[in-house]
Amino acid sequence: MLRPTYSLSMGSASVDQDSSTDLISLRVDMTMNGPAGCFEAVLRSSGGLSVSRGDTITASLGYEDQESVFTGTVDGVDAGFQTLRVFGLNSVSKMMRNRANTYYEKQTCGAIVTDMAGTAGVTTGDVSDGLTLPFYTVDSSKTFHGHGLDLARRNGFDVFADSEDSLVFKAYESSSATTLAYGKDVIQVSRFEQEPVYKKVKVLGESPSSSQGDDAVHWLTKSPVLGESGSDNGLLVQDASLRDTDSAGTAATAIQGALAKSVVVVVEVVGAAKVKLDDTVELSEMPDSSVNGEYQVVRVEHLLSKSRGFTTSLRLLGTAE
């Protein structure tokens, strides 16, 4: 029989299944290309735990072996007579709270994201270079997170903080899949497929004019820089930071590829702490065979409680065959 185990550290306070019975419930919700990952723990206040805003949080879940599922900081504490409720956020929240006015010349998208993360005090993990942009302006009309999402869109990348709270900026690559089978792992599942609104993408950049390359004066251009991907009905995207056809083509392919991921599966399984954001999951032996297949994990929610035990909800993204 599976026996869930856990380990929490919140500042100087530590709680696990062997040393305390104070934990009532624990929820961790991690997503990519969206809001900050969040943490919520409800504990009995009888334990005399002292937790303050700004304390570091680490949380691990599992059975015989535990996996890190969240690292972040305490964002709020609700202390009542009987319970202590602790809220936490990961470092994406810092990217969402920071703005600046900065100009970059001839930098890769990854270098720009890394610089913004450094300014916000965020540790970077797996950051890919992506396109080199002749120029890019980070302005205060958007947060660092907003600019990161814009840069990711050009490259077909995802942006998120992993379970160790390091910022990731890279493209999804199918990896060794974790298999989740009907009748063994899966509690419930739903699948939604929508026909893509746009099947073709055109990206229109600004030409630097003739043979002068990135150093040319952009208003001398006569021929537009245009990249295309897909067929049928199209979406036109204008991006003045792209000044050659190769970059425009890369951006068009990236955007069209994202639009093609039109299959969404939401599945609840027996607690699966090993499944992380950006992992590959294979669903198998489903009563509806259309659900079977490999998917990218784009959201992970863990819930541990005395009433329901340990469950994991996953949001999966795939492409229709």
Token representation of residue 233? 């009905």
Token representation of residue 101? 């006015």
Q: What is the pLDDT, as a whole number, of residue 91?
A: 97
Q: Amino acid identity of 284?
A: S
Which candidate, 80, 63, 136, 129, places its Cα nearest to that of 104? 136
How far apart (Å, rounded) are the C-alpha atoms in residues 171 and 169? 7
Q: Is 248 in the same domain as 302?
A: no
Q: What is the pLDDT, as a whole number, of residue 66?
A: 95
Q: Is 40 in the same domain as 104?
A: no
Q: Is 57 in the same domain as 101?
A: no
Q: Is 214 in the same domain as 238?
A: yes
Dihedral sign of CA atoms 161, 165, 167, 170 in order:
negative
Q: Is 279 in the same domain as 166?
A: no
Number of domain units in the chain: 4
Q: Are 311 and 270 in contact (CB under 8 A)?
A: yes
Q: Is 137 in the same domain as 151?
A: yes
**pLDDT tens across the length of the chain (321 residues):** 678 999 999 988 889 988 878 899 999 999 999 999 999 999 987 667 888 999 999 999 999 899 999 999 999 999 888 889 999 999 999 999 999 999 999 999 999 999 999 999 999 999 999 999 999 999 999 999 999 999 999 999 999 999 999 999 999 998 899 999 998 999 999 999 887 777 888 888 876 554 455 555 544 555 678 777 878 777 888 888 888 888 888 888 888 888 888 899 999 999 999 999 999 999 999 999 999 999 999 999 999 998 889 999 999 999 876
Residue 51's domain is classified under what CATH number?
2.30.300.10
Q: Is 85 in the same domain as 12?
A: yes
- Residue span of the structural domain in which 304 resides: 178-194+262-318
Q: Is 79 in the same domain as 129?
A: no
Domain boundary among 63, 90, 117: 90
Q: Is 223 in the same domain as 312?
A: no
Q: Is 231 in the same domain as 303?
A: no
Q: Is 281 in the same domain as 187?
A: yes
Domain boundary among 90, 122, 141: 90
3-state class percentages of the chain: helix first, strand second, coil last, to nearest 5: 20, 45, 35
Q: What is the pLDDT, as a whole number, of residue 207?
A: 64
Q: Are 208 and 216 in contact (CB under 8 A)?
A: yes
Q: Is 27 in the same domain as 153?
A: no
Domain boundary among 43, 69, 90: 90
